[in-house]
Structure 1
Amino acid sequence: MPTIKYWQGLLVVAAVVAAGTACSTGADSSSGTGGSVRYAIRSDPGALDPSASTNSAGQQVAGLAYDALVALTGDGKIVSNLAKSWTFDASSATFTLNKGVKCDDGHALTASDIAKNFDWIKNPANHSPLLGSVLPGSGYTTTADDATGTFAIKYAEPSGFILEQLSKVLIVCPSSIGNRAKLATGSDGTGPFKLTSAVPGKSYDFTVRDGYTWGPGGAGTGDAKFPHKVTVVVSTNETTAANQLLSGELNIADIRGPDTPRLKDRKLFERGYFHITSELFFNQAQGRLLADEGLRKALVQGVALDQVAKVNTGNLGSVATRLTDGGGEPCADDVTTGVVPAYDVTAANAALDRLGWRTGADGKRVKDGKPLELTLIYPSNAQSSVSAGQLLASLWEQNLHIAIRTQPLTPAAIDGKWSQAGNWGDVALARASDQLPSNLVGQFSGATPPNGTNFSAVANAKYRDLAGRAYGQPGQQSCALWNEAAKALLSAANVLPVAAQNSTIFGNGVTFEVGAGAVIPTSLRLG
């Protein structure tokens, strides 16, 4: 499964005054690294361990305190991070580390420390969600030479996006590799900030690390306008965030809903990126109703995608046409046209009739005495998401005569349910996308939780074959095969892209750059 990127990962950074200043709003950028910011996310990050987190909020928070071997820029370029140079091919990569990299406890990071991270992730007893998604489930081996500062990894099978995948593996320092308890309330990394306080569900305080010079592309924390403190706050209302942005209480906000136009009218600093707002996932585990491909296809044909997309994006987006997003994604082609059937209530009802689901006296469908009842889950922390879920339920109930139980949940709760084998309901209107098609393979094939990350229990042999062939092609040369693999999923109604939009991160009194749909921590500049 990919690092699950729920839309709850929307961030807001708020400026607070430095100690001893008057109660004015906006970021304090008058001297040195004296300013501080408040960085709000719509859902609690849950696990703070970067090798155990699968949600967007968790990965964004971890990005403040941890680094990867290399970094991926907003336009999809690979730049240095822990490693200063590297060589690679489709199945292996060797990295030479930057000298002087220090953990936040002062330990000098070694190549062996990095190897231990990958070995921990590979151990099936640790159930890391990175295995089988970001890192290949087929296995890999690592070698390290501390004398030369080199680390090497070799995949059992080729991968056309090996550097891009490795940019998503954040490195934990050695004192916590075998004892992860510290990571629940603190950090143990090499990143630009250190986690100093954590109140789950409320806030997380980070303090800048002096002497940090090995960030993405050589970025550091010594700039006079770099903030000295970041407080991550759980915030749930986008309209409130927009109002606070305009009033100066906040200085960065990722806004995707109906508040966007009024923020654009104010000519604020902004950075945009492509974002899949929602997809439909079907629980196809053995014994579940939607293990039946015909039933899934009838549901898909009964979805008025344009209507649901309009509601889900606040009339700012459109129907999604691919499975990858985040900006800078190498394979960004339309894979839905000519594959996803058009909205056709008559055809959907006829298909249900052929499957033996007949409408009873109460107006609901029944087969062999068993009612056609489905549980639909969707995120609860944005009105647009709730409204889209309710619209989808009403379309299926009124047009297809299916009984729908709606269950709005926090994104963290959805993530938790997806980690339970086949026990999360029947349909999810949520999101689990990634920049790389290769990072979706674990989500759509292989073992189900807890032994894997295929939470929908997808079993599509054609997809597996095409994905396997795509792995052997370098970079964008593999996109044609990845596109065919995606079409194989859509043809079998294993998944359905629903809504997408160009999202905007606004700034007021601060500038920044964006990568993978989030502010890059080392790019923050007050003023």
Structure 2
Amino acid sequence: MRLIGTGIGACVVVTVLAGCGGDDGGGGGGGSGEGNVSDGGTFTMAMDSDPGNIDPQMSAASNVFQLSRFAYDPLLHLDDEGMLVSGLATDWSVDGQEVTLTVGEGITCADGTPFTAADAADNINYVADPANQSPLLGLYVPPGAEASAEGSTVTMTLAAPAPFVLEGLANVPMVCASGLEDRSVLADETRGTGPYELSEVVPSDHYTYTLRDGYTWGPDGATTAEEGMPDQVVVQVVPNETTSANLLLSGGLNAATVVGPDAQRLLESDLFASPLSGVLGEMWFNHLAERPAADPAVRTALTQALDLDQLQEVLTSGTGIAATTFAAAAPVACPGDSISAALPTGGLAAARQTLDDAGWTVGSGGTRAKDGTPLALTFVYNTGLGSGGSAAAELAASTWEELGADVTVTGQDDTALLETVFGSGNWDITWLTLNVSSPDQLVPFMTGPAAPEGNNFAHIDNADYAEGVAEAMTMNGSEGCDTWLAAESALVRDADVIPFANQQLNTFGSGARFESGAVVVIPTSIRMLAG
């Protein structure tokens, strides 16, 4: 997913929090979140890296996901409690493998053309066509789905049961007809029905969005006529979170997601804060045949060697908790604990024994090797994890070196990290966070083909997980939760993926208030404050 990102400064696959949930916008000191609202003005928020191509259906990166919400709408939305509310669709139902949605009347694109049920069906079919290689296929749109339209009704036929299909559609931005006809324009322009329209792009610097008049089809009927909405939104690229924190305190930013020590000083200030909950630390191993972690013993030993509680403490600056489920963004569809009991444990002594038994012997220089191949590991992590992430990454690397690995550590921003794991493939271990609320949204990242044909960037092939998923997909919604959690445990047991830290992430506000949901800032919730 962005992938959904690491959840830092973003909200979706790969990186920070896609499908993230927040509260009603309370929290923090409250000083900057209270007071009278003021119409118009400019709302400026930070983004940790420039995502480049902003086609909303060709990336699951959280930064793209956030940008998309300003200019595009989904058919449905999820509220704070995980309940479906209207978006472009005013009515919806699921009957077995048939989904029916009614597109509202009077919805227009930014260019003035109407958005129709036929456009919605075309969007679903585009994502569902494997030839288009949309990362949203399997993540939010079930494989094999087909859509048709008649009048204002969209009918979506599923190839197999999909227990959370409507929740998935709440994360699919709908593109207007002009964008579907020529997708090349979507790389740096918008063609959507959203509350804002992209009006300026300065690469690696900022994106400017301008408010649309007459917009009345936002989440549960939200409009742009509400008092306090800004006339413009400027999304500023600010790679350094300390800089973002300083700009918030000086009034140079209205919103930024900040973690680590900088977050603590912001919490102690009089700033408004909107929280998001989810996974912050998640460790992946590259299973590709020629990489060391293709050996299950290597993955197991690398996991055993780490003190995951200590890593969580360092990564979250003492404010996090241990991860318990893979799908952890509120509202969580399947709460429970699929991780703790399945973790490979034992510390360095057990890890050394695991590698010894598998034939990875220590050489004269202290580095292990097997059949002449050294245990050389390329470890990449997301710099959006802040100073705590850097410290935790160094701690993990030093532990693995003590185990007998030769570790190269590289921090990369969100955009570069996604290019590494989905593009070059030159990695062995990565800390990359997928934040979703329902476990089915993770399946494309744990099974099936790797990029460019699919999203399984770690080349995972876990038969027990796949079998559990197949069974869970035949069950209705939460009825399958025990089966979903058991399937996740198989991934942990085999050290395929190890979530190890959860945290409440705060998006801080200065001179404005807003709510968090599927993105860190819900556009229609922004209110500029007087004074």
TM-score range, shorter chain: over 0.9
> How big is the shift at 1:502?
1.3
For residues 166-245 of structure 1, the aligned pairs below 5 Å read 166-245=169-248
For residues 508-519 of structure 1, the aligned pairs below 5 Å read 508-516=510-518, 518-519=520-521
1:217 corresponds to which letter in structure 2? D
> How big is the shift at 1:250?
2.3
2:54 to 48, 56, 61: 48
> How big is the shift at 1:222?
0.4
For residues 86-485 of structure 1, the aligned pairs below 5 Å read 86-137=92-143, 139-146=144-151, 149-381=152-384, 382-398=386-402, 400-420=403-423, 423-485=425-487
1:321 corresponds to which letter in structure 2? T
> How big is the shift at 1:10?
4.3
Structure 2: how far apart are the matches of 1:476 and 1:214?
A: 29
Structure 2: how far apart are the matches of 1:253 and 1:106?
A: 32
SS in 1 for 2:341: coil
SS in 1 for 2:77: strand
Structure 1: how far apart are the matches of 2:2 and 2:227?
A: 36
SS in 1 for 2:199: strand
Q: Deviations over 1:179-215 (max 9, x none)?
A: 1111122100000000011122111010000000000
1:37 to 43, 47, 50: 43
Structure 2: how far apart are the matches of 1:33 and 1:155?
A: 45
Structure 1: how far apart are the matches of 2:255 and 2:248?
A: 7
- Given that 1:309 and 1:499 are in contact with CA atoms closer than 8 Å, whether structure 2 keeps it comes out as yes
> How big is the shift at 1:287?
2.7
Structure 1: how far apart are the matches of 2:81 and 2:50?
A: 28
Which has the higher relative contact order, 1 or 2, with Cα contacts under 8 A spaced 6 or more apart?
A: 2
Q: Which residue of 1 aligns with 2:17?
A: none
- Given that 1:226 and 1:526 are in contact with CA atoms closer than 8 Å, whether structure 2 keeps it comes out as yes
388-397 or 405-414: which moved more? 405-414
Structure 2: how far apart are the matches of 1:365 and 1:90?
A: 54
Structure 2: how far apart are the matches of 1:44 and 1:387?
A: 24
1:65 aligns with 2:89: no
> How big is the shift at 1:264?
2.5
- Given that 1:284 and 1:456 are in contact with CA atoms closer than 8 Å, whether structure 2 keeps it comes out as yes
**Normalization by structure 2: what TM-score?**
0.92
- Given that 2:88 and 2:217 are in contact with CA atoms closer than 8 Å, whether structure 1 keeps it comes out as yes
Q: How many residues align?
A: 507
Structure 2: how far apart are the matches of 1:102 and 1:118?
A: 18
Structure 1: how far apart are the matches of 2:412 and 2:309?
A: 24
> How big is the shift at 1:239?
2.2
- Given that 1:435 and 1:516 are in contact with CA atoms closer than 8 Å, whether structure 2 keeps it comes out as no
> How big is the shift at 1:242?
2.0
252-261 or 121-130: which moved more? 252-261
Q: Deviations over 1:312-348 (max 9, x none)?
A: 1122213322212222121132211211033411011
Q: Which residue of 2 aligns with 1:17?
A: none
Q: Deviations over 1:398-436 (max 9, x none)?
A: 2x1111111222211111122237x23111022123122
SS in 1 for 2:215: coil
1:38 corresponds to which letter in structure 2? T
Structure 2: how far apart are the matches of 1:425 and 1:504?
A: 30
Q: Deviations over 1:136-173 (max 9, x none)?
A: 22x01111013xx1111111111111110111111000
501-510 or 365-374: which moved more? 501-510
72-81 or 184-193: which moved more? 72-81
Distance 1:191 1:116, change over 3 A: same
Structure 2: how far apart are the matches of 1:349 and 1:3?
A: 33
1:188 corresponds to which letter in structure 2? R
- Given that 1:211 and 1:221 are in contact with CA atoms closer than 8 Å, whether structure 2 keeps it comes out as yes
Structure 1: how far apart are the matches of 2:125 and 2:10?
A: 32
- Given that 2:8 and 2:259 are in contact with CA atoms closer than 8 Å, whether structure 1 keeps it comes out as no
Distance 1:407 1:90, change over 3 A: farther
Structure 2: how far apart are the matches of 1:395 and 1:464?
A: 32
SS in 1 for 2:423: coil
SS in 2 for 1:152: strand
- Given that 1:445 and 1:454 are in contact with CA atoms closer than 8 Å, whether structure 2 keeps it comes out as yes
Q: What is the root-mean-square deviation in Å for CA atoms of aligned residues?
A: 1.9
Q: Deviations over 1:423-477 (max 9, x none)?
A: 2311102212312210100000011111111111110111111111111222222
> How big is the shift at 1:498?
2.0
SS in 2 for 1:407: strand
2:122 corresponds to which letter in structure 1? K
Structure 2: how far apart are the matches of 1:90 and 1:201?
A: 46
Structure 2: how far apart are the matches of 1:65 and 1:186?
A: 10
Structure 2: how far apart are the matches of 1:488 and 1:262?
A: 40
- Identical counterparts, % of pairs: 37
Q: Which residue of 2 aligns with 1:6?
A: 6
**Normalization by structure 1: what TM-score?**
0.92
Distance 1:372 1:32, change over 3 A: closer
- Given that 2:379 and 2:427 are in contact with CA atoms closer than 8 Å, whether structure 1 keeps it comes out as yes
2:150 corresponds to which letter in structure 1? D
Structure 1: how far apart are the matches of 2:2 and 2:110?
A: 28
80-89 or 32-41: which moved more? 32-41
Distance 1:197 1:58, change over 3 A: same
- Given that 2:380 and 2:431 are in contact with CA atoms closer than 8 Å, whether structure 1 keeps it comes out as yes
2:9 corresponds to which letter in structure 1? G
- Given that 2:124 and 2:141 are in contact with CA atoms closer than 8 Å, whether structure 1 keeps it comes out as no
> How big is the shift at 1:46?
2.6
